[in-house]
């Protein structure tokens, strides 16, 4: 919540230190017992101090997506000023690009007064020099540029591998079964580091349980027989995005394996129609648990 108080003309003329003691009351009537003290002062003489940039958004060093050409930039300054920028570190008067700056003290916020611009050709030039000049009679100007830099993505974000692979048939003797969804990413702003989400077709993407890296995994423990299409999309710190999908079929095998060939060659050898474990015994009454496991 924002509350504002302006110094009166009498307080400004008084010069020196001015202390404010603030108490607040909530809507329920509760009042803070100890006053909050604000110390300030009115300094005699003309304004000789150059403005100062207190914050930028996005912060300097922010990533931009591959082939991005523009970036909105907002800066905050500590006093009413005009600001300019250039791709060269030069005098304020030579800088060819301007910010649109707030200059009314009523707009003064937590970080000061806001200035806005749109940086262009950021895919070519990614370092910018900013200077501000206040609107006092002395027109105090920053002598040293504020260097603002963006980090360009080296390439598009890519999904290199997805498991189950597209078109896979997954067999199981029981259901439901456990399926692990996996994705691997590369490229983009941070060599593949990204956040990935999945969707089974309902239009509601859900974040992978393990993500924010180059490997992304999600385990499903209640998959039943049927065809599945899973959409996967990933996004990195620069806003690079990539999307793909995989289809797989879960089949439940309810029939036991069949012996298709058997012969003796230095021991009994058996071939089955599918991968299986075989055991043997010398009695018809031998149970599976009692039988000997074959190599």
SS3 sequence of 213-250? ECEEEEEEEEECCEEEEEEEEEECCCCCEEEEEEEEEE
Cα separation of 101 and 189, whole Å? 31
Residue 54 has pLDDT above 90, yes or no: yes
CATH topology of 53-152 equal to that of 157-252? yes
In the numeric block, which tokens belong to residue 63? 């990533």
Domain locations in the chain?
A: 9-42, 53-152, 157-252, 259-293
- Where does the pLDDT of residue 162 fall: very low under 50, low under 70, confident under 90, or very high at 90 and above? very high
- What is the rounded CA–CA span in Å between residue 85 and residue 97? 5
- Say what the pLDDT of residue 229 is: 97
Q: Identify the three-state secondary structure at position 54.
A: strand
Question: How far is 157 from 187, CA to CA, in rounded Å?
Answer: 5
Which distant-in-sequence residues (6+ apart) come within 8 Å of 99 by Cβ? 75, 82, 83, 84, 85, 115, 116, 117
CA distances from 148 to 81, 172, 219 (A): 18, 57, 43
Cα 161–165–166 angle (5° rounding)? Answer: 110
pLDDT at 44 over 70: no
pLDDT surpasses 50 at 67: yes
Q: How far, CA to CA in Å, does 38 sit from each of 8, 17, 18, 33, 114? A: 16, 10, 8, 16, 23
pLDDT at site 3: 59
pLDDT at 8 (0 to 100): 64
Q: Which residue has the higher pLDDT, 137 or 208?
A: 208
Span 53-62, mean pLDDT?
96
Say which residue the tokens 């950021």 belong to: 122
Give the CA diameter of the chain. 113
Domain covering 157-252 in this structure, CATH number? 2.60.40.10
Report whether pLDDT(1) > 50. no
Residue labelled with tokens 């060269």: 88
Whether residue 119 is predicted with pLDDT greater than 70 in this model: the reply is: yes
Round to whole Å and give the CA distance between 271 and 257.
Answer: 10
pTM, whole model, 2 decimals?
A: 0.69
56-70, 75-89, 232-246, 269-283, range with the lowest pLDDT: 269-283
Decide if pLDDT at 7 tops 90.
no
Cis peptide before 128 (omega within 30 of 0): no
Whether CATH 2.60.40 fits 53-152: yes
In this predicted structure, the answer to whether residue 139 has a pLDDT above a threshold of 50 is: yes
């Amino acid at each position: 919540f924002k509350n504002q108080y302006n110094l009166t003309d009498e307080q400004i003329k008084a010069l020196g230190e001015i202390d404010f003691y603030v108490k607040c009351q909530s809507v329920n009537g509760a009042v803070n017992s100890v006053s909050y003290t604000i110390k300030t002062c009115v300094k005699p003489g003309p304004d000789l101090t150059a403005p100062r940039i207190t914050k930028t958004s996005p912060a300097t060093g922010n990533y931009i997506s591959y082939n991005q050409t523009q970036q909105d930039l907002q800066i905050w300054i500590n006093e009413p000023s005009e600001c300019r920028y250039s791709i060269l570190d030069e005098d304020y008067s030579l800088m060819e690009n301007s910010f649109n700056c707030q200059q009314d003290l009523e707009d003064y916020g937590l970080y000061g007064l806001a200035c806005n611009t749109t940086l262009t050709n950021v895919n070519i030039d990614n370092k910018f020099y900013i200077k501000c000049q206040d609107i006092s009679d002395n027109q105090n100007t920053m002598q040293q540029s504020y260097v603002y830099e963006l980090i360009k993505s080296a390439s598009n974000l890519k999904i290199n591998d997805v498991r189950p692979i597209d078109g896979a048939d997954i067999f199981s003797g029981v259901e439901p079964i456990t399926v692990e969804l996996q994705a691997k990413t590369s490229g983009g702003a941070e060599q593949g580091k990204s956040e990935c989400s999945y969707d089974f077709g309902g239009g509601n993407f859900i974040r992978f349980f393990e993500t924010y890296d180059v490997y992304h995994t999600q385990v499903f423990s209640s998959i039943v027989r049927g065809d599945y299409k899973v959409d996967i999309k990933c996004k990195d710190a620069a806003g690079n995005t990539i999307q793909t999908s995989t289809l797989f079929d879960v089949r439940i095998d309810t029939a036991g394996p069949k012996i298709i060939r058997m012969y003796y060659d230095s021991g009994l050898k058996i071939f089955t129609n599918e991968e299986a474990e075989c055991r043997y015994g010398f009695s018809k009454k031998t149970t599976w648990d009692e039988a000997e496991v074959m190599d």
